[in-house]
Amino acid sequence: MGGIYTEKKKSFIISALYYLTIGATLYVLLKYAVFIVLPFIIGFVIAAVLSPIVRFLGHKFSMKRKPTSILILLIFYGTIGILLALSVVKLTVLIGDFSGRLPTIYSENIEPFIAGIFEWVNDIVSRIDGQGTSEFSEDLGGLFESVKASLGTTVSDISVRVLSKISSFAAAVPGFIIELFFAVISSFFFIIDYENILGILKSRLPEKAVGVMSDMRDKFLTIIIKYLRSYALIMLITFAELFFGLSVIGTKNAAVYAFLISLLDVLPAVGTGVVMVPWAVIDLLRGGTVHGIGLLVLWAAITVIRNIIEPRIVGRQVGLHPLVTLIAMFVGTKLFGFFGLLFLPIGLSIAVSVIRERAQSSDSV
């Protein structure tokens, strides 16, 4: 009995070291080496995703792989290109327009609001003590001029910086286009000879590694579907919260705003605050105190609820404990940023699922 326990313990330690080695190797590659060959990795991933469609059409309609692959890729890139171009152009125009109007917004809304606060304070002090308030008024006026000048400089600086960032983005476009060109061209070569390339890769890897990668590939689609389902549920909950909250505070077209903001909330790097906080600030500056405060309260409530339910819903869907999911999201963000936040829980879920199945199969044997 003790020998069996010792063997299981030894097997567990060996398996743990094996997977830790794979994880450490993947981390080093993803962190330091992946960007060198990133266009080719993107090309291979696109080929791997679209290859089943090409295979299905080939079997179903007796179509040759090469023309079918080219057709599928052209449809794919055409659709993505149109959507991406429209999104980038629209977003760039909106940001540029807002940054250009920022000084006007400051002079027409923010500066009068600050002046009103200083006048209110001066009026209160005058009522409390009618004697000797002239010196205080002069000091208050000097403070107001100082604050106004500082804020004016800050607003102008922000406006210039935003426009500069847009210019920098435009300057970086040629480099991005070159990398995109290599990714697109490589994807055509990868998908045309995908089966042969996959066979060569399998022949160069250890049998155990091929088995693990095959199991992970089989689990990938299932986990992705569950992941998308979990975020669809989170989006639905956020939409319901937004629709209810916006309706309560008297927002017109509450359903439309709720839907658009809930779409942004699906992206962890964006979130509801990108829209709701500036919206609330503008309302407060324009005198819509109740609506502005209502937006801030609604945003805070949605943020708290999102942070509570996200690890639970995602963890339940992908088969991880909520605490493990939360840790994976945090560690993924620290290591790889936005992409780590999305993909580390997915990768961990796939790895855990494969390890469990292999452990069960070895126990049954």
pLDDT at residue 126, rounded to an integer = 64
Distance CA 249, CA 251 (A): 6
pLDDT at residue 243, rounded to an integer = 92
pLDDT at residue 83, rounded to an integer = 78
In this prediction the pTM is 0.53
Of 256, 363, 348, 272, nearest to 311 (Cα)? 348
Question: What single string gives the DSSP state of each residue in 18-77?
Answer: HHHHHHHHHHHIIIIITTTSHHHHHHHHHHHHHHHHHHHHHHHH---HHHHHHHHHHHHH
351 contact partners, CB below 8 Å, separation of at least 6: 19, 23, 216
CA dihedral 186, 191, 195, 197 (to 10 degrees): 0
- The residue whose two tokens read 């940001």 is 95
pLDDT at residue 236, rounded to an integer = 92
| Torsion sign (Cα): 347, 348, 351, 354 | negative
Task: Say if residue 46 is exposed, middle or buried (CB neighbours under 10 Å; 0-12, 13-18, 19+).
Answer: buried
| Ordered per-residue pLDDT tens for the chain, 365 residues | 555 556 666 776 776 777 677 777 777 776 676 677 778 888 888 888 888 888 888 888 888 888 889 999 999 889 888 877 776 676 666 666 666 666 666 666 666 766 666 677 666 666 655 554 555 555 555 666 666 666 656 656 665 665 566 566 566 566 677 888 888 899 899 888 888 887 887 777 777 666 766 766 667 777 777 878 888 888 899 999 999 999 998 888 888 888 888 887 776 556 788 788 888 887 777 777 888 889 899 999 998 888 888 888 877 776 777 777 778 778 777 777 766 777 777 777 777 776 766 666 655 55
pLDDT at residue 328, rounded to an integer = 79
pLDDT at residue 132, rounded to an integer = 47
Q: How many CB atoms lie within 10 A of CB 339?
A: 13
Position 79: which residue type? T
332 contact partners, CB below 8 Å, separation of at least 6: 339, 340, 341, 342, 343, 344, 345
Structure tokens at 37: 């060959």
Distance CA 332, CA 174 (A): 30
Of 263, 243, 262, nearest to 253 (Cα)? 243
Distance CA 262, CA 121 (A): 40
Question: What single string gives the DSSP state of each residue in 116-168?
Answer: HHHHHHHHHHHHH--SS-HHHHHHHHHHHHHHHHHHHHHHHHHHHHHHHHHHH
Of 29, 56, 50, nearest to 187 (Cα)? 50
Distance CA 235, CA 314 (A): 12
CA–chain centroid gap for 190, Å, is: 28
Position 157: which residue type? D
- Residue 356: which H helix or E strand, with range? helix 338-364
Distance CA 356, CA 347 (A): 14
